[in-house]
Structure 1
Amino acid sequence: MLPSPSVLAACAPPRPHVPLDRVSASSPSPTADATPHLLGGGPKHSGLDLYARYAFAGALCCSITHGALTPVDVVKTRIQLDPTVYNRGMVAAFRQVIAAEGASALLTGFGPTFAGYFIQGAFKFGGYELWKGQLINLVGADRAPEYRVPIYLTASALAEFVADIALCPLEATRIRMVSQPDFANGLVSGFTRLLKEEGVARGFYSGFGPILFKQVPYTMAKFAVYEMAAEKIYAGIKTPKEKLSTGTVTAVNLGAGLIAGIAAAIISQPADTLLSKINKAKGVEGESVTSRLVGLAKQLGPRGLFLGLGARIVMVGALTAGQFAINGDVKRALGAEGGHEIAKVK
């Protein structure tokens, strides 16, 4: 007598469970199944250890790129804050700053820039992978490719919100040092002076609204456009991603990152200008941040809100391309490749 189906089911070996952090689908598959699949064996680490590696890779890529582009950021900020003086373009502004203050002025704010974006990069890139994994789990791995764009946008927005809480005090210090070169001669002195004179709320977080207004749309565009651009590039390459050379993968990261950086720069430019303006000096006693923002926006107008866009496209395009290239290389070196890479399979 044959055993019943229920007995056979009970005796059958359990189906293998694939950890969520091993699910990925970055390169198109010839199958019609839209379920995410393993790519290159997935990450070599999991859990907290894996996300720590994501965070460290993000910290390095952001601090290195932002630190290296400090001179461009100084010039961009000067154009935004004093357009009547710096009104002949980015190259001329470089010459003006050097002629007036010396070449060392181009490194003003390097300390808070490096430190701030090291912290922010850890929360941004590590948090993005964390939230992306949670959202994939929420909608289901089989449906994730269908909802990949909302997943990218939501995960990046949540990660950036947390990252900005850490970044805001250091960004306020950087802008004050760039706009007032005699304010302080270093990160520690600038940070402590701002805290002592204006306190936590007015000194460090008066620009929190503008920084969210700037950074959240910027990061949403940055990650979503990067993911979609990389997906399109890989779709045009016949060789599966896991079989590509490391140089080719880095080149894809650079190209997709450049596209993402240009889009993100344009989207976030008005808020970047307002952030520079609101951190330039103290506000009027009793005036709310919202009223200051509205007043500044009216005063500047649409054209004024896009001051320094050319310099910022150069800066953001370069640093975003560099970030994704460095991030990918560091993750590979740390054995934390892949992650939650979801792409619509064709």
Structure 2
Amino acid sequence: MDLAERSRQSFLPSFLYSPSPAARTLAVDRILGRSLVSPAAEVGSTSPTPIVAQAPNEPGKIEMYSPMFYAACTAGGIASCGLTHMAVTPLDLVKCNMQIDPAKYKSISSGFGVLLKEQGVRGFFRGWVPTLLGYSAQGACKFGFYEFFKKYYSDIAGPEYAAKYKTLIYLAGSASAEVIADVALCPFEAVKVRVQTQPGFARGLSDGLPKFVRSEGVSGLYKGIVPLWGRQIPYTMMKFASFETG
């Protein structure tokens, strides 16, 4: 078996998507490169040569756990997280200001009124650049590393236990992915909140990030990492577990 073939097989899904024990065994056989003998070859056949089952060729399909598969998951994460969070920037802006100054921003509706009066319509999208970049980075890591850790943990567990405890593997994989995703998000989130809640601090990410680092250091960008983990990890665990079992 050449290097390309071994590399291809190392990325194959191990057993999580097989509906029955027999199908899981078949999948494991394929991963290990075993010959798959058809029932006709086993019963009433005198041919010494086994008939090897061939997987159907599906042009245009992305092979599971191939580099292209991980790239597609990463791109999907960017689109699903970065663009959606940017779209709700006005709501996030009001929410952050309600938390910082509840006396001034008493509710969502009145908060929009205050922003419109003081900053105009353009003020509704203050902080959209760090929101877009931060949540794009988070989504890329969340979706890409989730698939990586899901396969990694299932391979460690082995076929029998991975199939038996697949929900635990979904939870562990999503939690591991979110730890990394929030590390990518946290600096952007710190600058975004400061830009949104402290008028005059900066216009956006380009001038806000260096100003933030000068005043609080690089470590200051990660002051909120623990509460961010506390919010995002349980949410992501429930989300992916629901996706997989829904």
What TM-score bracket applies, with the shorter chain setting the length? 0.7 to 0.9
Q: Which residue pairs with 2:51 in the alignment?
A: none
Q: Which residue pairs with 1:120 in the alignment?
A: 138
Note if 1:54 corresponds to 2:73.
Answer: yes
Gaps of 5+ in 2: 1-8, 28-55
Matches within 5 A, 1:286-325: none
Matches within 5 A, 1:1-346: 20-21=12-13, 25=17, 35=24, 43-44=62-63, 46-87=65-106, 89-202=107-220, 204-228=221-245, 231=246
Query: Does the CA-based 8 Å contact 1:120-1:166 persist in structure 2?
Result: yes
Q: Deviations over 1:143-196 (max 9, x none)?
A: 434212211111111111111221111110000011112111121101111011
1:214 to partner: Cα distance: 1.8
Q: Deviations over 1:62-97 (max 9, x none)?
A: 11111111111111112222222222x323322232
Query: Looking at CA atoms only, which structure, 1 or 2, has the larger radius of gyration?
Result: 2
What is the alpha-carbon distance in structure 1 between the residues aligned to residue 10 and residue 190 of structure 2? 44
Query: Does the CA-based 8 Å contact 1:36-1:142 persist in structure 2?
Result: no
What is the alpha-carbon distance in structure 1 between the residues aligned to residue 90 and residue 15 of structure 2? 40
SS state at 1:21 partner: coil
What is the alpha-carbon distance in structure 1 between the residues aligned to residue 127 and residue 227 of structure 2? 19
Between 122-131 and 208-217, the greater mean CA deviation after superposition: 208-217
Gaps of 5+ in 1: 1-16, 232-346
What is the alpha-carbon distance in structure 2 between the residues aligned to residue 81 and residue 198 of structure 1? 19
Query: Does the CA-based 8 Å contact 2:131-2:188 persist in structure 1?
Result: yes
Q: 1:162 to 1:32 in 2, by over 3 A?
A: closer
What is the alpha-carbon distance in structure 2 between the residues aligned to residue 132 and residue 161 of structure 1? 14
What is the alpha-carbon distance in structure 1 between the residues aligned to residue 181 and residue 11 of structure 2? 26
Query: Does the CA-based 8 Å contact 1:54-1:122 persist in structure 2?
Result: yes
Give the AA of the match of 1:78.
Answer: N
Query: Does the CA-based 8 Å contact 2:16-2:163 persist in structure 1?
Result: no
Of all paired residues, the percent bearing the same amino acid is: 37
What is the alpha-carbon distance in structure 1 between the residues aligned to residue 189 and residue 202 of structure 2? 14
Q: Deviations over 1:259-296 (max 9, x none)?
A: xxxxxxxxxxxxxxxxxxxxxxxxxxxxxxxxxxxxxx
What is the alpha-carbon distance in structure 1 between the residues aligned to residue 15 and residue 76 of structure 2? 20
Q: Calculate the aligned-residue CA RMSD, in Å.
A: 2.7
Q: 1:34 to 1:50 in 2, by over 3 A?
A: closer
1:208 to partner: Cα distance: 1.6
Query: Does the CA-based 8 Å contact 2:78-2:135 persist in structure 1?
Result: yes
- TM-score (normalised: structure 1): 0.54
- TM-score (normalised: structure 2): 0.74
Q: Which residue pairs with 1:241 in the alignment?
A: none
Query: Does the CA-based 8 Å contact 2:70-2:144 persist in structure 1?
Result: yes
Between the two structures, name the one with larger relative contact order (CA 8 Å, sep ≥ 6).
1
